[in-house]
Amino acid sequence: MERILSSFKALYKGEGVCKTHLLAALLFFLPCLAASTFQLIDKDMKELIVPLLIAGAVLLILSIIPMFALSGFYLKFLNKRLSEPAGLPVIDANCIIKGLKFFPIPFVWTIYIGLPILIYFAAIFTAFAFYISSKPDTLGVILATIAMFGLVFLFFIPLFIISPFISFINMKYCENFEYSAELFNPLTPFRYMKKAFKDAIIVALKFIVVSMVTSIAVQIVIFLGMIILMIFGLIAAILIPDNVEMYKFVDIYKMPVFVISVILLSGLLGVVSAYVKWITGLAYGDNLLDVYKEKIMDNQGFEVEEAGNNE
């Protein structure tokens, strides 16, 4: 666990890291606003459904650039860690370019992984529906349901096992930011498994625990934030003059000002959660990169991108 703690500490060392962390948090703001807007859509707010859908769609489109920037930043971070143990690269327009150039790699691997998932789930649900159509007794339905959920759960085990080796593909790309056949070969993760299976899985297992701890901490912060908001709401209700009818405040949740306030507050809380997950992801990448450098990487001639400009 000492290596994990040092990874988190290294993320806050170096020149200009406060600025980098602040910019990263701001990049999460638009995606979190988009998510908050869509989550607020409710059938009981019919007059606001269309405006919320339009606002959410606009925010989602505007979120594309920040997400590419964050993707490019992560690639620059991995490249920087190949030669430097601490600090963060700068967040600039070059991050967007790198994120755009990198996009074909995760797109192809999403197809590689997504198709087997769709086929597997389709087979499970088809078999379940076929069995249910035969009108089994209650015990049969219960056992079939348990079996279905068990098979769905079991599929996440191979996904977990292969995930660090797909991350190695990203690290391979970050050596020189160039495409190669190896990056798109569906057998590449299995070749990496032969070289670094135990070490990579140990790192992944450790960060499951770390992710659970950080997630619980974030949920506590969000819960406290919601309690504070409720307290302010109660204070506002107490301060309402006696001569004002309460029915005028029953539909306050439908008022545009209230809706916008809720979206902004939910977005801010979402930024906190996204930022903590981002930091955890950087630390995970840093630890996994140790395994990659030791077991897989060809130490001959990798390039440190923009070494003179990194902070």
Q: Are 48 and 37 in contact (CB under 8 A)?
A: no
DSSP letters spanning 55-85: HHHHHHHHTHHHHHHHHHHHHHHHHHHTT-S
> What are the backbone angles phi and psi of residue 287, rounded to the nearest 5°?
-70, -40
**Predicted pLDDT of residue 253:** 55
In the prediction, which pLDDT does 230 show?
A: 74
Residue 151 to residues 2, 131, 148: CA-CA distances in angstroms?
Answer: 36, 15, 5
* Of 39, 55, 35, 48, nearest in space to 251 by CA: 48
Residue identified by tokens 């009108």 is: 135
Report pLDDT for 48. Answer: 73
Q: Which residue has the higher pLDDT, 301 or 174?
A: 174
DSSP 8-class letter at 301: S
Nearest-angstrom CA–CA distance, 73 and 99: 8
- At 279, is the pLDDT very low, low, confident or very high (cuts 50, 70, 90)? very high
pLDDT tens, position by position, 119-152 = 999 999 999 888 888 888 888 889 888 998 998 8
Q: d(Cα 126, Cα 120) in Å, to the nearest integer?
A: 10
Token duo for residue 220? 């506590």
Q: From 76, 109, 39, select the one nearest 265 (Cα to Cα).
A: 39
Q: How many helices (H) and strands (E) does the chain have?
A: 11, 0
Contacts of 170 (CB under 8 A, 6+ apart): 75, 78, 102, 105
Residue 79 has, within 13 A of its CA and on its CB side, a CA count of 26
Which pLDDT belongs to residue 61? 93
pLDDT of residue 105: 95
pLDDT per residue as tens digits for the range 50-64 = 888 888 899 999 999
Full DSSP string of 230-252: HHHHHHHHHTS-TTS-GGGGTTG
Instruction: Give residue-wise pLDDT tens across range 23-59.
Output: 999 999 999 989 888 887 775 667 777 888 888 899 9
Which of 184-188, 213-217, 240-244 has maximum average pLDDT? 184-188
Which single residue is written with the structure tokens 């902070």?
Answer: 311
Reduced to 3 states (helix: H, G, I; strand: E, B; else coil), residue 308 is coil
Bigger pLDDT: 180 or 228? 180
Average pLDDT over residues 188-203: 92
Write down the pLDDT at residue 238. 64
Q: Are 28 and 271 in contact (CB under 8 A)?
A: yes
Domain layout of the chain by residue ranges: 2-295
For 268, residues 6+ apart whose C-beta sits below 8 A from its C-beta are: 29, 32
